[in-house]
Amino acid sequence: MTDRTTYETRRGEGGETHQVTGASAGKQGHGTLTSNQGIPVSDNQNSLKSGRRGPTLLEDFVLREKIFHFDHERIPERIVHARGSAAHGYFELTHSLSDVTSADLFQRVGDKVPVFVRFSTVAGGAGSVDTPRDVRGFAVKFYTREGNWDLVGNNIPVFFIQDAIKFPDLIHAVKMEADRAFPQAASAHGTFWDFVSLMPETTHMLMWAMSDRAIPRSLRTMQGFGIHTFRFVNSEGKSTFVKFHWTPKLGVQSTVWDEALKLQSADNDFHRRDLWEAIASGNFPEWELGVQLFDEEFAASLPYDVLDATKIIPEELLPVKPVGRLVLDRNPDNFFAETEQVAYCPANIVPGIDFTNDPLLQGRLFSYLDTQKSRLGTANFHQLPINAPKCPMHNFQRDGMMQMVVPKGRANYEPNSLDQANEESGPRECPATGFRSFERQTGKEEQGDKLRVRAELFADHYSQARLFWKSLTASEQAHVASAFVFELSKVEFQHVPPRMIANLLNVDKRLGERVAEGLGIDLPDANPCAREPLELEPSPALSIQKNMLETLEGRKIGILIADGTDAAMLDQVTAAVRAAGATAFLVAPKVGSVKLSSGEAIAADGQLAGSPSVLFDALAILLDEKATKKMLSEAAAIQWVMDGFGHLKAIGHTQASLPLLQKAGIEPDEGITGLDAHFLKAAAKRFWEREPKLRSLA
């Protein structure tokens, strides 16, 4: 550790003396350290004192400024989506949408638009972990030629509630409980389930939240959705409804529940680290943007309301049209300045995109703008570099706290008749290119008396929840039922679980029975339905397992080695893994030096005790007989293998390492292979059929 105390006194050319600290003596800095006012600082390690052991002097402006800034360098965290990770990138148009929208970014194939994308959990605070069961935010800021467009969505295409007036109640219920401030980042507690069991409209979203969608393997393997129905408006003023979908290039991947729990202890920053390292290594995450386009006539033909945020339009009924790709290729330079200060707002749209009357969306248009003032302290938050548009910005808004630009011109009002030639009059509106809200004939349901009501079709709370359930594999259904059992087992209010099960019985009778059996309680009667559920056709697109890509691209393979590992085999396995687009991560009992069979000593990437198998997508064990014998008494090695098997991952192994697998209780199946081509094929998937042999599911 460097000695920071003053150790030398030097005399300057004018006879004055000054102190030199151990950290700076004899070294030439990259630049001169200054105060925030640009004043050069001579000593940043010692406060100004009256004598060597005297009191610190109030006149020490360097100390006062440094402490003052430190005391105020935190801002209020977001109420929701506080825990986030982000990256820079671009959106590239691959299919023109000029026929349905005048938005500039959707006109010319090949055009690229800079973006900043933030992923987040919802319930936890900024210091919570990455991998709880939770909805994930998926917010994209497009810096277009016509201004910023913020597409602020989630990794689930529906939401808990239909009307924004219920949003404060939802968040108060799901956040840590008001009197005890726990649990953090979890929905498995009494107030949440008390609320949702009283709100049948939450049922569809609960099915998604209890599914594997809520425990993603990586931010890079999540879908994203705009949730609401928006409008495209073309150059002729014609409107087309649109729903937005992001699909990851690597396919959708999830964890299993036990794996998600163990990831929280293995690496609190697992998702954040994975995103950062992927970009830093050049494995740029990529998504395809797709749109569902439809008109008023199609919307009217559906048995549900497209303005209801708890509903989807199945892809089999209305295919998703690919229109572009999103690539994240640069990590933030500073987490606070960019990831923390970025301010998204659904009201930020550009000409050619417009809103609908979705009551949840309408409330969000107000809420997001309002909350930024509380977080960022000024109405000028849009001038922060991460929020500022990359196109010219001109208006008559002036002054305000933390004004960061110096507006020119005499006029700060409009209209005015000052000299336009000298630019004293300021900017003017442009009817030809400016944003216009969609003009439509008001229907009978959109005029008349002022009413606090919801549209009739909003009362169907179970049809699409049933659709989701029927679309899943048996394995996924077991995960959903088990998640309900786990969550409701944490609820101390005995009247709440039966009420929730009474809602689930309207989704599927057997689902309700399985949850009741898992909790060991009597089966209640089904709750009455405000609107009788419909039998909709299953949508295979909603299943993760039915659509998983069997690929190693973007995945990480843990390779266990030790002294005596066959050097040629290690080279062969790592080369094959990398050729398949995956990362090879070497794990050893000691990281410093592993002596291979060739006599070569290499360093491992991680220590066995600190690199549990939950961090990897598949495992390879390259041990000889001597190393295996040592590992048989090493708990970390046995757990490494046991967890990999329990989390349904492929395990490739040498014949010599077989005793380690046997001690870990591994039963051979298609996912347990040698270290040949069969391993690479197995490593590209999970073995869901293994699960019933390993754990009890509802």
Distance between CA atoms of residues 500 and 487, nearest Å: 11
Burial 445-479 (b: 16+ CB within 10 A, else e): eeeeeeeeeeeebbbbbbbbbbbbbbbbeebbbbb
**What was the pLDDT predicted at 665?**
95
Exactly one of 148, 154, 331, 348 is catalytic; name it.
154
Tell me the average pLDDT across 639-655.
Answer: 98
Q: Are residues 279 and 358 in the same domain?
A: yes
CA dihedral angle for residue 125, residue 127, residue 133, residue 139, rounded to 10 degrees: 70
Element (H, E) at 500: helix 496-504
Q: Cα 151 to the chain's mean position, in Å?
A: 14
Residue 308 lies in a domain: yes
Residue 368 lies in a domain: yes
Q: What is the CA radius of gyration of the chain?
A: 29
Q: Are residues 249 and 349 in the same domain?
A: yes
List alpha helices for 256-358, DSSP H. 257-266, 270-280, 296-301
Distance between CA atoms of residues 123 and 83, nearest Å: 9
pLDDT digits (tens, 9 = 90+) for 132-165: 999 999 999 999 999 999 999 999 999 999 999 9
pLDDT above 90 (res 197): yes
pLDDT above 90 (res 42): yes
**What was the pLDDT predicted at 25?**
38
Are 340 and 321 contacting, i.e. CB atoms less than 8 angstroms apart?
no
Q: Are residues 230 and 97 in the same domain?
A: yes
**Phi, psi torsion values for 413, nearest 5 degrees:** -150, 165
Tell me the average pLDDT across 313-342.
Answer: 98
> The tokens 């350290």 sit on which residue?
33
Distance between CA atoms of residues 445 and 454, nearest Å: 10
Q: Are residues 105 and 196 in the same domain?
A: yes
527-533: Cβ within 8 A, 24+ apart: 527/200, 527/499, 527/502, 527/503, 529/200, 529/461, 529/462, 530/200, 530/459, 530/460, 530/461, 531/456, 531/457, 531/459, 531/460, 531/461, 533/460, 533/462, 533/463, 533/466, 533/506, 533/507
Residues 6+ apart with CB under 8 A from 444: none
Q: Are residues 184 and 208 in the same domain?
A: yes
Among the candidates 326, 360, 383, a domain finishes at: 383
pLDDT above 70 (res 13): no
Instruction: Name the percent of the chain lying above pLDDT 90.
Output: 85
> The tokens 């959990």 sit on which residue?
121
Residue 401 lies in a domain: no
**Phi, psi torsion values for 327, nearest 5 degrees:** -125, 130
Distance between CA atoms of residues 621 and 570, nearest Å: 10
Q: Are residues 181 and 304 in the same domain?
A: yes
Q: Are residues 89 and 9 in the same domain?
A: no
Distance between CA atoms of residues 687 and 698, nearest Å: 19
List alpha helices for 177-228, DSSP H. 190-197, 203-209
Helices 167-174 and 190-197 pack at an angle, to 10 degrees, of: 150
Residue 148 lies in a domain: yes
Range with the poorest average pLDDT among 44-58, 186-200, 433-447: 433-447
Q: Cα 635 to the chain's mean position, in Å?
A: 34
Tell me the average pLDDT across 199-220.
Answer: 98
Q: Beta 353-354 vs 321-330: how paired, if at all?
A: unpaired
> The tokens 């659709």 sit on which residue?
467
Among the candidates 365, 383, 401, a domain finishes at: 383
Confidence of residue 17 (pLDDT cuts 50, 70, 90): very low
**What was the pLDDT predicted at 431?**
85
Confidence of residue 417 (pLDDT cuts 50, 70, 90): confident
Q: Are residues 560 and 636 in the same domain?
A: yes
Range with the poorest average pLDDT among 12-26, 294-308, 634-648, 664-678: 12-26
Element (H, E) at 115: strand 112-121
527 is catalytic: no
Helices 474-489 and 496-504 pack at an angle, to 10 degrees, of: 160
Q: Are residues 19 and 142 in the same domain?
A: no
Residue 613 lies in a domain: yes
Confidence of residue 14 (pLDDT cuts 50, 70, 90): very low
Q: How many CB atoms lie within 10 A of CB 532?
A: 10
> The tokens 């949850």 sit on which residue?
515
CA dihedral angle for residue 309, residue 315, residue 319, residue 321, rounded to 10 degrees: 60
The total domain count for the chain is 3
Q: Are residues 102 and 123 in the same domain?
A: yes
Instruction: Name the percent of the chain lying above pLDDT 70.
Output: 94
The first and second tokens of residue 242, run together, are: 């649109």
Tell me the average pLDDT across 176-188.
Answer: 94
Distance between CA atoms of residues 279 and 270, nearest Å: 14
User: If you ran DSSP here, which 8-state letter would residue 150 be given?
Assistant: E
Residue 465 lies in a domain: no
CATH of the domain at 247: 2.40.180.10
Q: Beta 651-653 vs 230-233: how paired, if at all?
A: unpaired
**What was the pLDDT predicted at 682?**
97
Are 161 and 195 contacting, i.e. CB atoms less than 8 angstroms apart?
no
**What was the pLDDT predicted at 450?**
77
Distance between CA atoms of residues 197 and 15, nearest Å: 80
81 is catalytic: yes
Distance between CA atoms of residues 232 and 105, nearest Å: 12
Range of the domain at 580: 554-693
Q: Which pTM was predicted?
A: 0.92
Q: Are residues 120 and 179 in the same domain?
A: yes
Tell me the average pLDDT across 679-695.
Answer: 96
Length of the chain: 698
List alpha helices for 22-134, DSSP H. 61-71
Q: Are residues 91 and 61 in the same domain?
A: no
- Averaged confidence pLDDT in the chain: 92
Tell me the average pLDDT across 588-600.
Answer: 94
**What was the pLDDT predicted at 409?**
82
Residue 1 lies in a domain: yes
Residue 519 lies in a domain: no
Q: How many CB atoms lie within 10 A of CB 429?
A: 9
Among the candidates 383, 416, 435, a domain finishes at: 383
Exactly one of 81, 88, 189, 271 is catalytic; name it.
81
Are 113 and 144 contacting, i.e. CB atoms less than 8 angstroms apart?
yes
> The tokens 């961090």 sit on which residue?
615
